[in-house]
């Protein structure tokens, strides 16, 4: 087990190591993972997460940059030499062997004594609840059991540096995915290996990992706990990708005066959170983001009067059982769609919202995120407003 550091990793599949290549799969990735954590690499297809995993595992040698395990540069070492374990997209097991033999295989190759092998195998099998299946041929297991078995092969090596998962739930039936996720969490709690989990499914990433790294087109967009990613996405893409549905993003102008800053969306002014400092107004294309969950419906009646509320014409209302998704347009802001998520509990339950009607909503300033060129504007960056046109 070790701390894993990625320094300046860039990779292009077209060029060999050491050259400056145009077509980069990864751009200058810097990451540090502490020992024993559970991390997820999340992103859409083609964002470079599988490449990154390959670089970490030793399958790929990066065109530039270094990989360090516990301070040691392992960039040029093979997978075997790095002492990692990997679980693949489909179960990779040895068909001709029994479950026991599968688990014992890595240890036999390292020349351990039989007694020691048996001890470890039984211990891991116990943790993974595979003990009853030890004498069976590995092919008799179900897909999720096979993935657990693959995991087990990694776990039997007690000195394994990290366990890497490459979208391991791909071939698992949906209703059994949760079994595997639960097992992974248990294992993590028990053994505290460094786990790195690559996926394009936000649910998997958010439920599994302590920290999630969101990637897009070869770069890391944001890294943080699931909660942080949810509350304050550092990039509009992160906002869009995480959450169901994703964050509402709309272009705006920011103006500032003694009363505070406000954002103008269409014909509406929206109050922004108080900030310190003054300075020139932020330039660049500005966008305002707010999650559907954070939009507050003021009153179902739609009559004006609620101060600072915005009128929304309702287009559709989708009933998802425990919550409803309301899609509407903000009057005076063009055709931009706004999604609102309201639950069936609490005050929202009784709100009569119907398609074709109109409602009034409020954007609580503490939940508004401001973005310049897609990147979040931190508090303290907002400067003095220019006179609005």
Interface residues with other proteins (CB under 8 A)? Answer: 57, 59, 78-80, 84-86, 88-90, 92, 94-97, 105-106, 109-110, 150, 153-154
Identity of the residue, 168 or 292, whose beta carbon is nearer to other proteins in the bound complex: 168
Residue with Cβ nearer other proteins (88 or 240): 88
Annotate 232-256 with DSSP letters as a single string: S-SBHHHHHHSSSS--EEEE-EEEE
Smallest separation (angstroms) from other proteins to the CB of 162:
11
The number of C-alpha atoms within 13 Å of 57 and in the hemisphere containing its C-beta is: 20
Please name the residues in contact with 381: beta carbons below 8 A apart, sequence gap of 6 or more: 282
Distance, in Å, from the CA atom of 193 to the CA atom of 173, rounded to the nearest integer, reads 26
The CB-of-113 to other proteins minimum distance in angstroms stands at: 16
Kindly tell me which of 106 and 243 has the beta carbon lying closer to other proteins: 106
Q: How far is the CB of 56 from other proteins (least distance, A)?
A: 13
- What is the 8-class DSSP label of residue 174? H
Which of 215, 115, 205, 128 lies closest to 168 in space, CA to CA? 205
Residue 322 DSSP SS3: coil
Spatial distance between the Cα atoms of 72 and 375, rounded to a whole number of angstroms:
34
Residue 85 CB, nearest approach to other proteins (Å): 6
Question: Please, which residue, 151 or 330, has the CB nearer to other proteins?
Answer: 151
The residue (of 95 and 307) whose beta carbon lies closer to other proteins is 95
Cβ proximity to other proteins: between 41 and 368 the closer is: 41
Comparing CB distances to other proteins, the nearer of 153 and 188 is 153
> From the CB of 154, what's the least distance to other proteins, in Å?
8
Residue with smaller CB distance to other proteins, 106 or 246: 106
Rounded to 10°, the helix 143-155/99-109 angle is 30
Cα–Cα distance for residue pair 60/201, rounded to 1 Å: 24
Asked if residue 374 lies in contact with residue 249, where contact means CB atoms within 8 angstroms, the answer is no
The minimum distance between CB 12 and other proteins, in angstroms, equals 18
* Cis peptide bond N-terminal to 245, omega within 30: yes
Least CB distance to other proteins at residue 25 (A): 17
Q: Which runs of consecutive H residues, i.e. helices, occur in the chain?
A: 49-57, 79-82, 99-109, 114-127, 143-155, 174-191, 202-208, 226-231, 236-241
Burial of 110 (0-12, 13-18, 19+ CB in 10 A): exposed
Least Å from the CB of residue 114 to other proteins: 17
Cβ 88 to other proteins shortest distance, Å: 4
Packed helices 114-127 and 174-191: angle between N→C axes, nearest 10 degrees: 120
In this complex, which beta carbon is closest to other proteins, that of residue 79 or of residue 327?
Answer: 79
| Closer residue to other proteins (CB): 38 or 164 | 164
Q: Give 221: exposed, middle or buried? Use CB within 10 Å, 0-12, 13-18, 19+.
A: buried
DSSP annotation of 53 reads H
CB-based burial label for 327 (10 Å; 0-12, 13-18, 19+): middle
Q: Output the smallest distance, CB 109 to other proteins, in A.
A: 4
């Amino acid at each position: 087990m070790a701390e894993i550091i990625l320094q300046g990793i860039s990779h292009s599949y077209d060029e060999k190591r050491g050259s400056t290549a145009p077509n980069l799969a990864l751009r200058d990735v810097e990451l540090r993972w502490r020992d024993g954590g559970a991390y997820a690499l999340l992103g859409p297809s083609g964002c470079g997460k599988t490449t990154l995993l390959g670089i970490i595992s030793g399958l790929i040698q990066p065109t530039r940059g270094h990989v360090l395990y516990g301070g040691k540069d392992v960039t040029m070492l093979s997978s075997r030499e790095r002492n990692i374990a990997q679980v693949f997209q489909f179960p990779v097991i040895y068909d001709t062997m029994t479950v026991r033999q599968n688990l014992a295989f890595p240890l036999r190759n390292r020349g351990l004594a039989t007694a020691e092998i048996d001890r470890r195998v039984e211990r891991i099998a116990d943790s993974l609840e595979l003990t009853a299946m030890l004498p069976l041929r590995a092919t008799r297991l179900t897909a999720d059991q096979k993935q657990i078995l693959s995991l087990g092969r990694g776990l039997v090596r007690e000195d394994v540096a990290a366990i890497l998962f490459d979208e391991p739930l791909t071939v698992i039936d949906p209703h059994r995915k949760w079994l595997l996720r639960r097992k992974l969490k248990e294992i993590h709690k028990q053994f505290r290996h460094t786990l790195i989990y690559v996926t394009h499914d936000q649910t998997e990433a958010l439920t599994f990992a302590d920290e999630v790294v969101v990637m897009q087109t070869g770069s890391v967009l944001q890294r943080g706990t699931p909660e942080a990613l949810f509350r304050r996405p550092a990039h509009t893409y992160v906002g869009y990708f995480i959450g169901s549905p994703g964050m509402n993003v709309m272009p705006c102008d920011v103006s500032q005066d003694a009363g505070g800053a406000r954002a103008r969306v269409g014909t509406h002014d929206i109050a922004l959170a108080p900030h310190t400092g003054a300075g020139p107004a932020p330039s660049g294309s500005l966008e305002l983001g707010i999650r559907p969950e954070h939009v507050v419906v003021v009153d179902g009646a739609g009559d004006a009067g609620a101060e600072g509320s915005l009128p929304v014409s309702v287009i559709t209302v989708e009933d998802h059982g425990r919550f409803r998704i309301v899609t509407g347009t903000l009057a005076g802001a063009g055709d931009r769609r706004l999604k609102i998520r309201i639950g069936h509990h609490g005050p929202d339950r009784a709100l009569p919202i119907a398609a074709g009607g109109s409602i009034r909503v409020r954007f609580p300033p503490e939940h508004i995120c401001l973005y310049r060129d897609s990147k979040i504007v931190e508090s303290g960056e907002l400067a003095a407003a220019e006179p609005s046109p």
